[in-house]
Amino acid sequence: MLLTLPLALAFAAGVDTLGVEYRGVEGRTRVVMPRVDAAVQVDGLLDEPVWRQAARLTAFSQYTPDDGRPAEYDTEVLVWYAPGAIHFGIRATQPAGTVKATLADRDKLSGDDLVEIFLDTYNDGRQALVFGVNPLGVQSDGALSEGARRGGETVGGREASDLSPDFVYASKGRLTEQGYEVEIRIPFQTLKYQTADVQDWRLNVVRKVAATGHEYSWAPARRTAPTFLGQSGTLQGMNGLRRGLVLDLNPFVVARATGAPDGPDWAYDRAVEPGANIRWGVTPNLTLNGTINPDFSQVESDASQVVTDPRQATFFPEKRPFFLDGIEQFTTPNNLIYTRRIVAPVASAKLAGKAGGTNVAVLLAADDRALSADAEHTPFFAVARVQRDLAKNSRVALVYTDRTESAVSNRMLGGDARLVFGSVSLLGQLAASATTPRDGETTWAPLWQLDLQRSARRFSFSYTFSGISDRFVAGSGFISRRGIAQLGFNHALNFFGKPGATFERATFSVNLRGRWAYRDFVHGGPIQDRQGFLGASFRLRGGWILSGTGIAERFGYDSTLYRDYAVERRENGQVVDTMVPYGPKPGIHNRDLSLTVESPRVGPIGFRINYIFGHDDNFFEWSPAAVRIVNATIQVRPTAQLRLDGSYIQQWYQRLSDETVVGVTHIPRLKLEYQVSRAVFVRAVGEYVSQKRDSLRDDARTNDPILIRDPADGIYKRQLALARQANTMRADLLFSYQPVPGTVFFLGYGGSYVEAERFQFSGVDRLNDGFFLKASYLFRM
């Protein structure tokens, strides 16, 4: 009372009392948190008296493109907490007309000005929840778990946040004559944190200015440090936090009507599926989640991808709300946990939290019987992940997965560790799988990986050494390619321009990789693939990025890729043998050049174009080819509410032997969204996939026709290798109402169509379509 009396008298007298200032550039990042028993309306106006008592975080410094320099524009972040929530107020100055802000859907803020709050509630410097807002208060949230995924490919800079999780918090912003202001309230019900009566949290705030492409950090952070979160500031002395009863009940219902041809008619199958998610905060640091019949929550089809190497599996992210909650706790190197393996669960439960420096996450799920090998037994999943903090920024972890159905099972046990020594980090992983088929013997197989990385301002490097047995099976994970061992070296050299210079940063890199077939590596056999990449990247003033990479490779013949191929041997136009084995064939030497141009948002438009050309593998027939690959995206924001996103992918292969085109793919995609309000938008998505392949032959050798084994009957057939063409279209329409995560109303349509000739849009036939409705409501007790 004695402490608050002077403040009360000052307010009554009209004196403008300000909270303590913490200037980040001066290293004043240990914030004594003011606690105020007050409630404010989140309206984007920081005019209530309580904001004068808030701690003031000021004096940001540049993080990108070059760390340590003073920020060009001032940023002030006000922070205080009440018993039930933590509050942030943001004042950002910027020249008039340069602020980029749209009324976008959640997490769709690419090209906007953005402020991100990294809140590490366990004070461990290893993981943080990320709360982002644009100048209008539109939210972009997720989680950052450092060092959990595979490294070794890039050096320097912070890791990307996973924007999959969605959190319930309030935010509102507005543009001002000086820039913009945003107000944020994060209830403690939304967070998991320590159980101590008095606790410290780590905090950093990053501001992105779209007009320049620069990022500013409140706590001075070096891009070359092996950890970004470990350089955060601290919120000290938080006490008396009250979450109350944390019990979220989220019932939902999904109705579908799926149509397909039925003879001369068109028939629809209709289904109504109810379900529910429940979340119980057992303690402040431990949460129990359960679900019955979780929906896929797929309100837009996955964007099609081109496959440049058919030996690599295609990855699609998780989108179901139940599995997204706390997904950072299940993140592992090499994706040994991949919840989309649980395809259509009947029920699932998980427990996740942290206590005494140990993270624990357990997931149990029962999948649909139709997904079992005999369609009679229920596939059961058990997944566990335990992580233990070591020293300042290091950790060790264990992972266990189990997928069992009757006598068929796959189990995997692994351990991984990330050790940080100054500017050097070491990531290691070792795992083994045990797979038991029906009436068969159990097969054991290993996976291992070792990554060494050093980050520094001028010179950085990363070395990686890994191996995945061809018998390693991750029944609950995602392995892009198995049966290989790899050794890689990546060196990068940075140069920085002076403030205001045209070239802000230039990076030159050399990347060398060697790849063996795993069995050859184990038995001392020869290397299969050699790759060399010589790259240069230039960051220009205003956020423009120009980069180029020269590629030199030698790929050895991979017999496993063509084990179902044979040659129809001919002499004088007559078939003399239909079972000539395919290969072995000599290795292929590749020479390619990759060029990329990426723009900031100039007016309403931003774009990125990647163009690859040269000589590369014709994987259709394993022979050299001229290749052309285009991957272009464009974003158009004509108004704050209208968004147009377009993309175009082209993949073109021409035989060097006679200059005939063996394969070509075109994928244009267009997405149009109109944001009626922050909670309501309508969307239309159209995608066209055109694929054409020539009849296959033993190119550059005998030129005889190829036969492909039919998996249905095991017979090698010529018709499977004949020329083919497919032109399919996909249209998705959606009305969405989502005031907060968990409370949604979706009404949508999706249809697939086909035509004979590419891009003619005549004689279009409908393949299938469907209507769907989803309604759910979040009851927060």
Q: Looking up tokens 């795993």, which residue turns up? A: 518
Residue 703 has pLDDT above 70, yes or no: yes
Mean pLDDT of the region 152-166: 71
Highest mean pLDDT: which of 228-232, 370-374, 511-515?
511-515
Q: Are 678 and 106 in contact (CB under 8 A)?
A: no
- Where does the pLDDT of residue 314 fall: very low under 50, low under 70, confident under 90, or very high at 90 and above? confident
- Residue 491: both structure tokens together: 């060196």
Q: Residue 559: which residues within 8 A CB-CB, separation 6 or more?
A: 583, 584
Residue 15 has pLDDT above 50, yes or no: no
- Give the 3-state secondary structure of residue 215: strand
User: What pLDDT was estimated at residue 148?
Assistant: 63
Q: Residue 474, class by beta-carbon neighbours within 10 Å (0-12 exposed, 13-18 middle, 19+ buried)?
A: buried
User: What pLDDT was estimated at residue 371?
Assistant: 87
- Where does the pLDDT of residue 2 fall: very low under 50, low under 70, confident under 90, or very high at 90 and above? very low
Look up residue 322 and give its DSSP letter: H
Q: Which domains does the chain have, with CATH numbers?
A: 17-239 (2.60.40.1190)
- Where does the pLDDT of residue 149 fall: very low under 50, low under 70, confident under 90, or very high at 90 and above? low
CB atoms within 10 A of CB 211: 18
Q: Residue 483: which residues within 8 A CB-CB, separation 6 or more?
A: 468, 469, 470, 517, 518, 519, 560
Mean pLDDT of the region 602-609: 93
User: What pLDDT was estimated at residue 8?
Assistant: 41
Mean pLDDT of the region 286-306: 76
Mean pLDDT of the region 710-725: 92
User: What pLDDT was estimated at residue 456?
Assistant: 83
φ, ψ dihedrals at 711, nearest 5° = -65, -20
Look up residue 5 and give its DSSP letter: H
Q: Of 400 and 126, which is predicted with more confidence?
A: 400
pLDDT tens for 30-44 read 999 999 999 899 999
Residue 595 has pLDDT above 70, yes or no: yes
Report the percent of the chain where pLDDT is more than 90: 72
Mean pLDDT of the region 549-577: 89
Q: Of 372 and 75, which is predicted with more confidence?
A: 75
pLDDT tens for 645-699 read 999 999 999 999 999 999 999 999 999 999 999 999 999 999 999 999 999 999 9
- Where does the pLDDT of residue 7 fall: very low under 50, low under 70, confident under 90, or very high at 90 and above? very low
Average pLDDT value for the chain: 90
Residue 455 has pLDDT above 50, yes or no: yes
Integer distance in angstroms from the first to the last C-alpha of the chain? 33
Residue 297 has pLDDT above 80, yes or no: no
User: What pLDDT was estimated at residue 1?
Assistant: 37
Mean pLDDT of the region 3-30: 63
Buried b (16+ CB within 10 A) or exposed e, 342-370: beebeebbbbbbbeeeebbbbbbbebeee
User: What pLDDT was estimated at residue 13?
Assistant: 35
- Give the 3-state secondary structure of residue 701: coil
Q: Are 698 and 582 in contact (CB under 8 A)?
A: yes
**CA–CA distance, 329 with 237 (Å, rounded to integer):** 26
pLDDT tens for 621-652 read 999 999 999 999 999 999 999 999 999 999 99
- Where does the pLDDT of residue 150 fall: very low under 50, low under 70, confident under 90, or very high at 90 and above? very low
Indicate the helix (H) or strand (E) that contains 136. Answer: none
User: What pLDDT was estimated at residue 372?
Assistant: 86
**CA–CA distance, 691 with 167 (Å, rounded to integer):** 40
- Least confident range from 222-231, 237-246, 296-305: namely 296-305
User: What pLDDT was estimated at residue 156?
Assistant: 56
pLDDT tens for 487-500 read 999 999 999 998 88
Q: Are 611 and 638 in contact (CB under 8 A)?
A: no
Q: Residue 555: which residues within 8 A CB-CB, separation 6 or more?
A: 528, 529, 587, 588, 590, 617
Number of Cα atoms under 13 Å in the Cβ half of residue 196:
15
